[in-house]
Amino acid sequence: MKSVGSRIVIWVILFAYQKNIIQLSLVNYLVSITKRLPTNVVGEFFVDSSCINCDTCREVAPSVFEESEGYSFVVKQPQTEFEILQTKQAVFSCPSGSIGSVNGFDRAEIRETFPLKISDNVYYNGFNSPNSFGAKSYFIDDKNGNWMIDSPKYSKLLVNKFEELGGLDYIFLTHRDDVAHADKFAYKFGAKRIIHYFDRSVQRDAEIIIKGIDPVEIEPGFTIIPTPGHTKGHCVLLYNNKFLFTGDHLYWRSDIKSLRATRNYCWWNWEEQVKSMERLKQYKFSWILPGHGHRKYFEENDMKIHFNKFYKKMSDPNYW
């Protein structure tokens, strides 16, 4: 809760803006400063109290951001060029605009680094949307047609980048929570949206509807696997038997070094989510690329070991 002093400062700032004494960019900065979390270390970058604890910054710049009491915060100011770059990229990935910079920086230069390459022809889009609680979205640059997995904020910069890469042919939506601005991207590029029948209420005019629980190969190397549980219509995408885009079905937790699924945030049926996990045991993959939580790479055999280990935990009725 804001103190009376903070409220007065914000009122003064807004009054100065209304009287054309200061510009909007300065307003945004000064208001952010008044909400700066006390857990931040002193320095250039900080997180304010509008943080929704989506974990995005902690993955984009893991040496700089940590979590405490339901908020991210700057645990260490970036020192190396790489850390500074990651921190600035976290600013553009933050869905709530909660990361501030005391002196500012050249935002145009950082914008140009998106989408961020993960491996091969797979990218992280950045520009996470608050409409999907900061869920991550991805881009695949494939010779048989480009794919977007879930949706970021609709950004002219991303539109331009996608155009440079050949546009979008498919937009795969893992489930109803993370559609964000999928309709705008689909309209812009004439892309076909893919979603399961049971989650179609959020994209009723989607071009491709998946039904049942059998896997569907849309294009060579692109297999959609229904994984009901988190929602009734949740699906994952397996690309080239290497990349598994898992939505809210499965993710990596760096602090405990384990794959993880969250029973607390299972909106439909946990028992069905466990069954869906069992069906994934037959597939080969090396990357886990989730909507929430951290992505992770292992060699195929090591990934299988981690997957089976977690599946055993998840199957325990006492798992939470």
Residue 102's pLDDT is 86
| Prediction pTM value | 0.87
Q: Which two tokens stand for residue 97?
A: 């605009």
The position carrying tokens 């879930």 is 150
Over residues 237-241, mean pLDDT = 98
What residues are paired with 119 via a beta bridge? 122
> What type of residue is 148?
M
pLDDT at 188 over 80: yes
What residues are paired with 117 via a beta bridge? 123
Over residues 56-75, mean pLDDT = 95
Residue 241's pLDDT is 97
> What type of residue is 113?
T
Give residue 286's region: left, alpha or beta (phi > 0; psi -120 to 50).
alpha
Rg of the chain over all Cα atoms, to the nearest angstrom: 21
C-alpha span between 223 and 130 (Å, rounded): 28
pLDDT at 198 over 80: yes
Q: What is the mean pLDDT of the chain?
A: 90
- Give the residue ranges of DSSP H helices in the chain: 4-18, 24-34, 56-60, 81-93, 107-111, 156-164, 182-189, 270-280, 300-315
Q: Catalogue the long-range contacts made by 16-21 (C-beta closer than 8 Å, 24 or more residues apart).
A: none
Q: Each residue of 7-57: pLDDT tens digit?
A: 444 445 445 445 555 444 444 555 456 688 999 999 999 999 989 999 999
C-alpha span between 45 and 77 (Å, rounded): 7
C-alpha span between 294 and 59 (Å, rounded): 6
Give all strands (DSSP E) within the chain, no chain letters.
45-47, 65-68, 71-74, 99-101, 116-119, 122-124, 138-140, 147-149, 170-172, 192-196, 208-210, 216-219, 222-226, 235-239, 243-247, 251-253, 258-260, 287-290, 296-297
Q: Each residue of 110-122: pLDDT tens digit?
A: 989 999 999 999 9
All domains in the chain, ordered by first residue: 4-104 (3.30.70.20), 114-315 (3.60.15.10)
